[in-house]
């Protein structure tokens, strides 16, 4: 395990890491009199568009909330269809990820996914492991609360093994045991589509200082222009991280 997380993003109008709660596939389909799965299929096409858009905009990390721990409660036929779509996406897109030098990582309890999906994930991760320019993170069987439980368990095991000190009360140390570990920086911008204004157990700890943009656009209709608009909103916000405006900008003290 590396000893340090990626450095925080420097002041810029472009976020280093954008995380998206992809919401609204079912409503998109319902509005058109289509089965819910058609909305999910259209959502997969949007994923392709947004992966390309983040590269073009200079965003280095993109995390997509693809399947939550709560999603297992959905009807079994829908869950099965989602797993099949995930397998299809991985089979189809791995070559494109390699071509565009995009590294694939995952966060969540991926060991509980169907074996056929795990095999495709492992193959895609291995095929893209050498790339560092851009990273796609899929949150699969993910939830922040289970992440904290898993991190606390791993941290306690490290303390018991003498690898960590029990009285080391630093966030930097504990955060290395989160799913994001040392390889994925905290998100600068979190976007949720479909008009919902909740975070649904997504990156709760990592997004402590993120900017949030909630858009009424349903995920299948989310375009590069919509992403650019959210980035523009981000660029106009002042990120103080607990400091004052005057501390951040000496000119304001004059």
Q: What CATH number labels 17-145+185-240?
A: 3.40.1180.10
Is residue 211 marked as binding? yes
Per annotation, catalytic residue among 23, 141, 186, 188: 23
Catalytic, out of 71, 100, 150, 201: 71
Angle subtended by helix axes 36-57 and 76-99, to nearest 10: 30
* Residue 247, beta-bridge partner list: none
194 is in an annotated binding site: no
In this structure, are strands 134-142 and 189-192 parallel, antiparallel, or unpaired?
unpaired
Active site residue 23: yes
Neighbour count for residue 113 (Cβ, 10 Å) = 20
In order along its 254 residues, the chain shows pLDDT tens digits of 334 444 444 445 899 999 999 999 999 999 999 999 999 999 999 999 999 999 999 999 999 999 999 999 999 999 999 999 999 999 999 999 999 999 999 999 999 999 999 999 999 999 999 999 999 999 999 999 999 999 999 999 999 999 999 888 899 999 999 999 989 999 999 999 999 999 999 999 999 999 999 999 999 999 999 999 999 999 988 766 566 666 566 555 44
Per-domain residue ranges of the chain: 17-145+185-240
Q: What are phi and psi of 184, to 5 degrees?
A: -125, 120
Q: Binding residue per annotation — 43?
A: no
Contacts of 83 (CB under 8 A, 6+ apart): 113, 114, 117
pTM above 0.85, yes or no: yes
Is 103 flagged in the annotation as binding? no
Catalytic status, residue 201: no
């Amino acid at each position: 395990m590396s000893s340090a997380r990626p450095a925080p993003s420097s002041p810029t109008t472009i976020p280093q890491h954008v995380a998206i709660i992809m919401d609204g596939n079912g409503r998109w389909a319902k509005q058109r009199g289509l089965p819910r799965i058609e909305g999910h299929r259209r959502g997969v096409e949007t994923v392709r568009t947004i992966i390309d858009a983040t590269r073009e905009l200079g965003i280095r990390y993109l995390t997509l909330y693809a399947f939550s721990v709560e999603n297992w409660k959905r009807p079994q036929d829908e869950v099965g269809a989602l797993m099949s779509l995930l397998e299809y996406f991985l089979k189809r897109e791995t070559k494109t990820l390699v071509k565009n030098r995009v590294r694939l990582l995952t966060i969540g309890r991926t060991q509980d996914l169907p074996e056929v999906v795990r095999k495709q994930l492992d193959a895609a991760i291995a095929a893209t492991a050498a790339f560092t320019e851009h990273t796609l993170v899929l949150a699969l069987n993910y939830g922040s609360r289970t992440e904290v439980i898993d991190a606390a368990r791993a941290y306690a095991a490290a303390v018991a093994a003498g690898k960590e000190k029990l009285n080391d009360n630093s966030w930097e140390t504990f955060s290395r045991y989160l799913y994001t570990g040392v390889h994925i920086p905290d998100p600068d911008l979190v976007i949720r589509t479909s008009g919902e204004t909740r975070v649904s157990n997504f990156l709760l700890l990592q997004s402590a200082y993120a900017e949030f943009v909630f858009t009424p656009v349903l995920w299948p209709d989310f375009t590069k222009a919509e992403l650019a608009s959210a980035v523009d909103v981000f660029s106009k916000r002042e990120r103080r991280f607990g400091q004052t405006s005057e501390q951040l900008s000496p000119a304001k003290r004059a």
